[in-house]
Structure 1
Amino acid sequence: MSSLDRANCEALDAKDPLAIARDRFHLPEGIVYLDGNSLGALPRATAEHVQTVIQAQWGHDLITSWNKHGWVDLPRRLGAQIARLIGAQSDEVVVCDSTSLNVFKLISAALALRPDRKVILSDNGNFPTDLYMAQGLAQLLSRDHHLEIVPPEAVIDRIDTDVAVVMLTEVDYRTGRRHDMATINAKAKATGAHTLWDLAHSAGALPVDLNGTGADFAVGCGYKYLNGGPGAPAFLFVARRWQDATQQPLFGWFGHAVPFAFETAYQPKPGIDRFLVGTPPVLSMAALECGLTTFDGIDLALVRQKSLALGDLMIRLVDQECAGFGLTLASPTEGGLRGSQVSYAHSAGYAVMQALIARGVIGDFRAPDLMRFGFTPLYVRYQDIWDAVATLKAVLETAEWRLPAFNRRAAVT
């Protein structure tokens, strides 16, 4: 196989059907941004739209904006936009709260469907907050529920008739390893268990087919591939078949059947709205709305095709340019088995990443030794991958990562 150079990568960019989407984002000059799997880039439309919501809607129309500008409808309106990205119907997704709170609500709902079962099954690649929520809920219920954690490859065989809910992140946040959603959903259904999927590293990065694969519940965040901004509201999915058969434990006024009747007794709304809790955070939702519009006219099949190509390119270039520097590929080599990121282990991974960031290549680090490089196909170019690997090679060749400044741990890694 012949070697690649930057010209090869520029040629790929020239033929990229998604190249038009890059102009939808504000991307600082001279920066290669490979951390959209942690925080998506700023859409160009966001600042103006949020300013309009602040000045014209909040500033001028004040409280009338709940009706006049549809603030009250934001959870469902944004949910419908997300639904098309994750293979759901528009009335099966609602935007609300944080991923953690939504996990809590949906585990509770799933457990109530199988009161005879006590096992919440997950794997050690799941994001910790999901595991914490399961542990906290089990402790709160005090009914012998417990979280069981197994290796990712052991999940399918462990799904049995004692499992109430299988709770997994589709794409491992550390390595990018991807679960086979269809197979796991089928096994869960066959054994009478329910599934709860965390789509934080899937939604917006690759096609998801919740209904086609028979998923029961799902959650996801708005600030990664959906480009909703730091701390953007999360979303949850409940399949139609379970909406009126389940109840979540957080009885909030926006989930009440008639919130403005101000009744003292709680009665849930029908359908997905019963999973709402408090007043929607309008400014955050306005920013998320702009993030979601960056997908207008975008074919998710092309997004996935480019995502795989970017990952394959990085793996090939690191093999070509960085052999002998102590890097170990932590992600699956086969594209179909990973999400939209590639991770490398290195004994000084934190310091190497800090040196990369200082040179304008932004990825991130996950303990104990993983450097993560995320690919958002809407704005990452093939030439960005070349530049990132060339910079990585320079950092490793010069060993500048040994400088004390790059070895001081910051609060956020």
Structure 2
Amino acid sequence: MFDIQEIRSQFSILDREVNGKPLVYLDNAATSQKPNSVLEVCHAYYTELNANVHRGIHTLSQLATEEMELSRRKIQRFINAEHDFEVIFTKGTTEGLNLISYILTQKLQKDDEIIISYLEHHSNIVPWQLLCERTGAKLRVIPIDENGILQLDYFDKFLSEKTKVVSVNQVSNALGIVNPIEEIIARTRKNTDAYIVIDGAQSAPHFNIDVQKLDCDFFVFSGHKMYAPMGTGILYGKREILEALPPFHGGGEMIATCSFDKTTYAGLPFKYEAGTPNVGGNIALGAAVDFMNRVGHENIQNHENALLEYAQRHLLEIEGLKVYGEKAKRTGVVSFNLEGVGISSDVGMILDKMGIAVRTGHHCTQPIMEFFNIAGTVRASFAVYNTFEEIDLLVEGVKKAQRMLS
């Protein structure tokens, strides 16, 4: 049974006030709040287990290692990876994408092509631009229509023997649009042997992920958007690909042998986990997976989709309000502007005075904003602990901002 009040009771921060008003937190696409069960795991690590992992014979090191590797196995099951060593701990989606673009350097040469989409976060644009600068490869971008929907006819035209990488997000952070990645992967497999990279930063918090069913080569996501601490994330990569590619960072943990003459590298996953990891955070990421499993993926998805439908319906009753991507399949996000209000941050500041936290600006997706000829949007984004009553407060807040700013 889905009990929203019981779920909310697990998030202590939701009891606080902001500017004398009860907190209404609708900035979950930027980062989610953390349940007490996750915070307790963080506290327990630093007060009971604090030690480096994989390197110590003493009890604390052994226990910390066991807990972090247990977390890795939880995440393996969470995304249905075939092997736990295909799960690489990172600092987040951005590091994962930079890691992939770097280790693929030797696989590209001049005039090869990398395909991304117009809906990408800057972290799925800039690393590929840097790879193009290193190799002489070229970037091709799948366009969108006026609803923000990818134009796959262009994607078909782009695919060729020159295509070496296809990297797209599963869900747009700016608009919440759910992209047809199954179709993109199928078309890529049919026509090329390109590496397929999926940015799952905005999909992992909202619905079930199965990397084997998807048949992607890489899948990356952040922990802090799915109820885990900041500075945590996951890179999934197929075993045979990760084993064949070079390491990213050099240092401790990722070596098998090291001498001044030659260094050999450790096996997976340690080959890509140089240095001391965020042990407490990585263990807490497993606790966040436990939380989501207890609530249930279907319950999370159904509740958040209901919030989205309710929010969009009532926001669109406001005269002069435009929702971007209104007619596209979406999850977790409603992104909008008010006619006659040129700066989205003005709306955000008024909402903040009412205790309502939203995100404003370009959301690290400047090409999307340029396409719609706007500077930014107001973005409300939802998590499992949000309520319909909070949506009502958002709608009333937007109406107040409209009266004040028009």
State whether TM-score is above 0.5: yes
Displacement of 1:25? 1.6
Displacement of 1:78? 3.1
For 1:114-133, list aligned pairs within 5 A: 118-133=112-127
Displacement of 1:201? 0.8
Q: What TM-score does the superposition give when structure 2 sets the normalisation length?
A: 0.82
The match for 2:218 is 217
Q: What is the DSSP-based 3-state SS (H/G/I as helix, E as strand, rest coil) of the residue aligned with 1:254?
A: coil
CA deviation profile, 1:145-192 (whole Å, cap 9, x unmatched): 233333242453223321101111211111111211110111111122
- Distance change in 2, residues 1:297/1:16 (3 Å): closer
Paired residue for 1:372, among 371, 379, 384?
A: 379
CA deviation profile, 1:281-309 (whole Å, cap 9, x unmatched): 22433443443332132321222222211
- Distance change in 2, residues 1:241/1:339 (3 Å): farther
- Distance change in 2, residues 1:55/1:271 (3 Å): closer
Contact 1:94 1:237 in 2 (8 A): yes
Gaps of 5+ in 2: 17-21, 145-149, 363-374
Distance 2:334 2:99 in 1: 31
Displacement of 1:345? 2.5
- Distance change in 2, residues 1:286/1:210 (3 Å): closer
The match for 1:28 is 15
The match for 2:71 is 78
The match for 1:202 is 203
Q: What is the DSSP-based 3-state SS (H/G/I as helix, E as strand, rest coil) of the residue aligned with 1:177?
A: coil
Paired residue for 1:146, among 135, 138, 153?
A: 138
The match for 2:397 is 391
Distance 1:138 1:65 in 2: 47
Distance 1:272 1:200 in 2: 21
Distance 1:115 1:394 in 2: 55
Contact 2:308 2:331 in 1 (8 A): no
Contact 1:111 1:165 in 2 (8 A): no
For 1:7-406, list aligned pairs within 5 A: 16=2, 20-26=6-12, 27-29=14-16, 30-58=22-50, 64=58, 67-71=61-65, 74=68, 76-91=69-84, 92-110=86-104, 112=106, 118-139=112-133, 141=134, 143-152=135-144, 153-154=150-151, 156-157=155-156, 158-192=158-192, 193-224=194-225, 226-229=226-229, 231-256=230-255, 258=256, 262-264=258-260, 265-320=262-317, 322=318, 324=319, 326-334=320-328, 337-346=329-338, 347-367=342-362, 368-377=375-384, 379-397=385-403, 399=404, 401=405
The match for 2:367 is none
The one-letter code matched in structure 1 to 2:27 is D
The match for 1:8 is none
Distance 2:139 2:64 in 1: 41
- Distance change in 2, residues 1:188/1:109 (3 Å): farther
Contact 2:111 2:138 in 1 (8 A): no
What value does the CA root-mean-square deviation take over the aligned residues?
2.8
Distance 2:109 2:60 in 1: 40
Contact 1:43 1:227 in 2 (8 A): yes
**% identical equivalent positions:** 18
CA deviation profile, 1:36-64 (whole Å, cap 9, x unmatched): 111111321344433332233339x9x74
Displacement of 1:16? 4.0
Displacement of 1:117? 6.9
The one-letter code matched in structure 2 to 1:296 is N
Larger mean CA deviation between 149-158 and 271-280 belongs to: 149-158
- Distance change in 2, residues 1:268/1:19 (3 Å): farther
Contact 2:88 2:269 in 1 (8 A): yes
Q: What TM-score does the superposition give when structure 1 sets the normalisation length?
A: 0.80
Contact 1:251 1:266 in 2 (8 A): no
The match for 2:371 is none
Distance 1:389 1:87 in 2: 39
Displacement of 1:237? 0.6
- Distance change in 2, residues 1:150/1:211 (3 Å): same
Displacement of 1:215? 0.8
CA deviation profile, 1:252-280 (whole Å, cap 9, x unmatched): 43222x3xx55553323333432222210
- Distance change in 2, residues 1:266/1:103 (3 Å): farther
Gaps of 5+ in 1: 1-14, 403-413
Q: What is the DSSP-based 3-state SS (H/G/I as helix, E as strand, rest coil) of the residue aligned with 1:135?
A: helix
Contact 1:82 1:93 in 2 (8 A): yes
Distance 2:282 2:111 in 1: 37
Q: What is the DSSP-based 3-state SS (H/G/I as helix, E as strand, rest coil) of the residue aligned with 2:174?
A: coil
- Distance change in 2, residues 1:80/1:21 (3 Å): farther
Q: How many residues are paired up?
A: 371
Contact 1:111 1:164 in 2 (8 A): no
Distance 2:288 2:127 in 1: 27
Q: What is the DSSP-based 3-state SS (H/G/I as helix, E as strand, rest coil) of the residue aligned with 1:160?
A: coil
The one-letter code matched in structure 2 to 1:86 is I
Distance 2:99 2:140 in 1: 19
Displacement of 1:343? 0.8
Q: What is the DSSP-based 3-state SS (H/G/I as helix, E as strand, rest coil) of the residue aligned with 1:242?
A: helix
